[in-house]
Amino acid sequence: MALVVIGGNAAGLSAAARARRVDPRLEIVVLEKGPTVSYAACGLPYFVEGRVPQIADLAGYTPEYFRKERQIDVRTLAPVAAISHPRREVVLESGAQVRYEKLVIATGARGAMPRLPGADLPHVFTLHTLDDADRMRRFLRERQPKSAVVVGAGYIGVEVADALRRNGLRVTILERTQHALLRGEESFTAAVRKQLELHGVELRTGVTVSAIEPGAVAGVAGDMVVVAAGFHPNAELARAAGIEIGPTGAIRTDDRMETSLRGVFAAGDCAQVTHLVSGRPTWIPLGTTANKTGRVAGANAAGGRERFPGIVGTSIVSVFGMGFATTGFSAAEARAEGFSPTVARIEAYSRPRYYQGAKTIVELVADRATRRLLGGVVIGEDGAAGRIDVIATALQSRLRVDEFEQLDLAYSPPFAPVWDPVLIAAQQLLKEL
Amino acid sequence: MALVVIGGNAAGLSAAARARRVDPRLEIVVLEKGPTVSYAACGLPYFVEGRVPQIADLAGYTPEYFRKERQIDVRTLAPVAAISHPRREVVLESGAQVRYEKLVIATGARGAMPRLPGADLPHVFTLHTLDDADRMRRFLRERQPKSAVVVGAGYIGVEVADALRRNGLRVTILERTQHALLRGEESFTAAVRKQLELHGVELRTGVTVSAIEPGAVAGVAGDMVVVAAGFHPNAELARAAGIEIGPTGAIRTDDRMETSLRGVFAAGDCAQVTHLVSGRPTWIPLGTTANKTGRVAGANAAGGRERFPGIVGTSIVSVFGMGFATTGFSAAEARAEGFSPTVARIEAYSRPRYYQGAKTIVELVADRATRRLLGGVVIGEDGAAGRIDVIATALQSRLRVDEFEQLDLAYSPPFAPVWDPVLIAAQQLLKEL
């Protein structure tokens, strides 16, 4: 009996490690297409920035570690060409075959613009792997670029822009849509733009990039270019094996992270999960979900019985020290999901004024019909993560605004005002309902 | 028709202001025994510290403001001697009578040791009012004391100890019980003691203070003494008027903040509320509860219909920059309430190690029978407030540990690790259940 895991990063290794705990005797093989496993992908922008001094600080456990300490056979440079479920077999590109009884697919996601003309020019970068980060940092040191163009205003694009600006470069972000980060909303993008501009980064929205030229992108000059324009789930291998793909384009899973093929599980950025606010499928590739779904897939593949109910889509990104945090649905998203949303947006201080609080924006979305909370935004330099987590917890608990407004939150001048900004937003929202 | 409010601070003025919004034409009289109203009592330690430069920064609205802007008649130096409900009359110590139709009692709490021998010596202080803080600050400046004894290790005692130590004094805290701050638990007190000692403050527990001598308290020498030894609810006026007092010693209220006398409401530190984890009466005098119960009492007294369901007992105190946060019940308290508690305590980092996280202790308490979360502790220099608020939200939502462990919390290296410490604690707790 063997468990095979395709993919050796957050989801895949979480699955393998959890399977080992559930069944100490299970044979476990992890097949990773790249040269390394288990690195801290979310730390890459901070290595580019220079805050994380050594790339080794982001490297995780080695295949040797997994082999010796966990009895997990991790094979790197082992790209998979096909899954033959009738034969319970994974076929590598090398032609080698690996038999499985249970399979976890954790193939991740990839950049959405891999074939952009000019993408292979030496001054063009992506930021997915340790090598990418290393190469970028070396380029900064050796070539001393004065300007950069970042293609894409998603979280990686914005984090890279922040990192490059802190290295003294003139930075322009080009974004195809009208929006930045993970909230398709005008007021949110306006706040991101304001913070970027305050720190000397220009954000141009509605710009389609169709090619990279040696000295410029879409007419914007840049000594270096970073392409960070969205993700696609790596679902082709699964699709070719006859596994059902969901409406999001990612692999359909149930709440045990099992796919449409019995005994085959999927986890991480290649898998679709349930949005707990709507109850519908969603695909929001984030490290937290990768780790959690990996654990559940691994436990169940090893004979356990665990559930992953879903996500509420919580995220936070630091833009020059200011947290931009979102959870649940925006009003527009809620409307598209069939709710009748109403919104309150307030500005308040993160602490009493006499204790120098930071300006904090809180937006809450609720359903008029049920008064249920549907989503929220918190923007601020102090406490944004904790505040969005309170809203996320409320979403997951299906609280009504009336209940949310009654929350007994911690108060003390060094930490929060007596009426926390999230409660002020709830009071405002109650007036709108 | 007149609403009379006894007490002109957090609860009383919240009640008056809210009543005004509910009924723009109501006659509203606030009777305050002291010379000022509406000051930021929780800011007093930070004025003593010197961080808040002017005592005026802590003064709130004036009686003139309330009169002109809110049409609320705020009378200072108007101590109340008695309530005669059959006559719908409040009798002032001056002999004057004020008629009411609705009454809100917001008489607050007082120090538990008012008659300690030596309490009137010139080097002895309490810290309840702006005058107290002003006097203490002046003493520090003019007399340059080298050492201080603080009687009581509750939150005010610890905050004052912190403030005095930052002014260069040698500080000893004497505490009657074996515990510090708001958690009667050995490990919690050990953590408080460790942090105090790290910053040069000595905490002696199990010390009963029966008198203050000119140069020493219980054998500990001190150039100044601060008495901050617990609170008692000011419930005598209510009791004398025939209003029912609860088992906590505070005024019994229903979820509209109405007392046993129809039309008479109570709010703030003099009132008992419901603990939402046990469903039983509790008395935890804190500013958040004072403001919230004040609002509800005021709204209902003015003819509105609002509810205050209760609290979960959330608090946070900064001890030299480290947050000591608690919510719900400790294991011992949970046992006393009839639960069969189990506890998990973990130490983790507030951010990924490569991003210099701070050590964070999380303790979670759950009920074996129902798997419901009953309480939590968070101790750390980074994000303790947000993390305790997540636990508080979960308590108020009556989440089971299984649900709590699935929370979709925000992750990004500048803010939190991929597995937040509260989730790691939940994973640990699941193993114990």
pLDDT digit string, tens, across residues B349-401 = 999 999 999 999 999 999 999 999 999 999 999 999 999 999 999 999 999 99
Q: Is B119 exposed, middle or buried (0-12, 13-18, 19+ CB in 10 A)?
A: middle
Q: Summarize the confidence of residues B166-188 as an average pLDDT.
A: 94
CA distance A223 to chain B (A): 28
Instruction: Give me the residue from B292, B308, B386 closest to A387, CB to CB.
Output: B386
- Would you state the pLDDT for residue B308? 97
Condensed to tens digits (0 to 9), the pLDDT of residues A44-63 reads 999 999 999 999 999 989 99
Are the beta carbons of B385 and A325 separated by less than 8 Å? Answer: no
Query: CA B176 from chain center: how many Å?
Result: 19
- Tell me which chain B residue has its CA closest to the CA of residue A398: B397
Q: Nearest residue of B to residue A288 by CA position? A: B418
Q: Is A42 an active-site residue? A: yes
pLDDT for the residue A1: 65
Over residues B295-346, the pLDDT tens digits come to 999 999 999 999 999 999 999 999 999 999 999 999 999 999 999 999 999 9
Nearest to A405 by CA among A383, A385, A425, A376: A425
Q: Determine the Cα–Cα distance for residues B237 and B83; give it in Å rounded to an integer.
A: 7
Question: Which chain A residues in 347-366 lie under 8 Å from chain B, judged by CB atoms?
Answer: 352-355
**Whether residue B113 has pLDDT greater than 80:** no
How much is the pTM? 0.97
Residues in chain A: 433
DSSP state of B243: P
B108 touching chain A per CB within 8 A:
no
Q: What is the mean pLDDT of residues A144-164?
A: 97
What's the distance, Cα to Cα, between the start and end of chain B in Å? Answer: 57
Contacts of A416 in chain B (CB under 8 A): 316, 385
Q: Which pLDDT does position B27 carry in this prediction?
A: 98
Task: Return the pLDDT at B58.
Answer: 94
Interface probe with B: pick from A408, A420, A427, most Cβ of B within 10 Å:
A408
Q: For residues A304 and A306, what is the distance between their CA atoms, to the nearest angstrom? A: 6
CB within 8 Å of A25: residues ≥ 6 apart: none
| pLDDT tens digits, one per residue of B246-259 | 999 999 999 999 99
* Active-site residue identified among B42, B92, B121, B332: B42
Does any CB of chain A come closer than 8 Å to the CB of residue B282? no
Other Cβ atoms within 10 Å of A146 Cβ, number: 12
Structure tokens at B255: 């979820």
Estimate to the nearest angstrom the gap between the alpha carbon of B310 and the chain centroid.
15
pLDDT digits (tens, 9 = 90+) for A213-258: 998 999 999 999 999 998 899 999 999 999 999 999 999 999 999 9
The reported pLDDT for the residue numbered B245 is 98
- Confidence at residue B1, expressed as pLDDT on a 0 to 100 scale: 65
CA end-to-end span of chain A, whole Å?
57
Mean pLDDT computed over A182-208: 95
Token representation of residue B159: 């905050």
Instruction: Write the pLDDT tens digit of every residue in A77-132.
Output: 999 999 999 999 999 999 999 999 999 999 999 988 778 999 999 999 999 999 99
Q: What is the pLDDT of residue A15?
A: 98
| Selected catalytic residue, list A42, A261, A332, A430 | A42
- pLDDT exceeds 70 at position A6: yes
Q: What is the pLDDT of residues A20-51, one digit of tens each?
A: 999 999 999 999 999 999 889 999 999 999 99
Residue of A287, A308, A420 lying closest to B411 (CB–CB): A287
- The two tokens of residue B306 are 């609002």
Is there a contact between A308 and B411 if contact means CB atoms under 8 Å apart? Answer: no
Contact in structure between A173 and A305 (CB atoms under 8 Å) = no
Share of chain A above pLDDT 90, in %: 94
As a dihedral over the C-alpha atoms of residue A131, residue A134, residue A139, residue A141, rounded to 10 degrees, the angle is -170
Closest partner residue to A288 (CB to CB) among B325, B385, B418 is: B418
B52 vs A: CB within 8 A: yes
pLDDT confidence of residue B379: 98
User: Chain B interface, mutation test: which of A306, A393, A397, A420, most B Cβ atoms within 10 Å?
Assistant: A393
Taking the C-alpha atoms of residue B416 and residue B432, their distance in angstroms, rounded to an integer, is 25
pLDDT band for position A379 (cuts 50, 70, 90): very high
**B58 to chain A: closest CA residue:** A354
Nearest CA in chain A to B419: A288
CB-based contact A152:A173 (threshold 8 Å): yes
Give Cα separations from B192 to B198, B321, B350 (angstroms): 10, 12, 19
Closest Cβ opposite residue A386 in set B291, B387, B418: B387
As a whole number of angstroms, the distance between CA A237 and CA A82 comes to: 6
Residue A335: is its pLDDT beyond 90?
yes
The answer to whether B142 contacts chain A (CB < 8 Å) is: no
Taking 70 as the threshold, does the pLDDT of residue B283 lie above it? yes
In the predicted structure, residue B22 carries a pLDDT above the cut 80: yes
